[in-house]
Amino acid sequence: MNSAAASNQTQDPLLQVFTANLTNGNPFVFSLAELDEWYLDALYCSILYASQLGASLLLLIVLVLLTKAEKRTNVLFLLNSMALVFNFLRLVLACCYFTGPFNEVYRFFAYDFSNLPSYAYGVSIASEIFTVLLHLVITISLLVQIQVVCINLRKKYRLAVLILSGMIGGAAVAMRSYLAALNIQGILNPSMTVTVDLETISMRTDYLTTTTIFWFSAMFVAKLGYALYQRKRLGLRRWSSMQVIFVMGCQTMIIPAIFSIVQHSVNFPAVSSFVLTLVALFLPLSSLWAMNTLESKSASGSDRVAMRRTSPTYGSSSGKGKQVSLEGSTHCESGSGSPTVEHCGLSRDNLV
């Protein structure tokens, strides 16, 4: 080592290097700065995965506790619950990677993955599989909700929307599966020569996933937005479950897209993991919020009917022409009907 290099190392302690030996006796070196970067990346990823893990587990518990027993066989409830379970499992396995043999200092810097225990391969492969399953379940859940929202469209338009949505969602799932297959090959044979650009494929997969989520949410928001416009024309401005689902649909459309775009422009690890996690969280949250709004309106409607029945004017001619449903599904005055959540193709059974 020349005197200039020795002087630089003396001035900047981060430029100090460590020398270690491979299993065959050949030396390899890594710097203190590289060691810091490895440590911080593992720490950041673990924190981000753990926060998403806790949010998924908490929402899953809340979803199960707040959903009535008869609603737990609903397709959307099962899909939303499966999405949270798969997301929880993939994040647990992702955290296990950073505490497992793959992320040991020697193996990471020497790139020597010989004599790894079999469970280390299983953890990484299972994480990839659960990511694909999560993507698949989210896509199916979005398809089901599109079908529910478009139920009152003409048959040809409804089929066209469902076919196009299925093609877009299927392409995203296929790309995610292809990326997972490449990652699994790399896990089983870390020293193999990579013939494809994994970074480009990963970027395309993220963009296609974001496009799929944006498409489904845009269709959902557009249909509900039109229904809300009709309600406004009829003078119905009260907050309802349609507004709830409209707001959550906008969040599902915009926020994951922001994370998907930001991840390729900022140097911060594990940002891409937020995309699927946010969708898995927003879907059951919108259902819970909408159901709570419906039940609150139903309870207030029942109280009003009970008060009218006990009042001395109940049943008089002055109350003629007014109708209040105990289920909160219709609310008409002077014989004029108004579109409700059922008129948009959304029933209480389809909210959870």
pLDDT digits (tens, 9 = 90+) for 178-200: 999 999 988 888 767 667 788 88
For residue 76, name the pLDDT band (cuts at 50, 70, 90): confident
* Least trusted range by pLDDT, from 62-71, 109-118, 164-173, 285-294: 285-294
Higher pLDDT, 349 or 324: 349
Helix (H), strand (E) at residue 323: strand 323-324
Q: Under DSSP, is residue 116 helix (H, G, I), strand (E, B) or coil?
A: coil
For residue 239, name the pLDDT band (cuts at 50, 70, 90): low
Burial, 48: exposed, middle or buried (Cβ in 10 Å; 0-12, 13-18, 19+)?
buried
> pTM of the prediction?
0.74
Pick the CATH number of 35-292 from 1.25.40, 1.10.10, 1.20.1070, 3.10.20: 1.20.1070
* Least trusted range by pLDDT, from 33-42, 134-143, 201-210: 201-210
- Contact between 290 and 328 under an 8 Å Cβ cutoff? The reply is no
Segment 95-109 mean pLDDT: 89
Find, among 280, 339, 324, the residue nearest to 86 by Cα.
280
Segment 127-150 mean pLDDT: 89
Instruction: Report DSSP letters for 250-317, one per residue.
Output: HHHHHHHHHHHHHTTTS--TTTTHHHHHHHHHHHHHHHHHHHHHHHHHHHHHHHHHHHHHHSTTTTSG
Predicted confidence at residue 163, as pLDDT, reads 92
Share of the chain above pLDDT 70, in %: 70
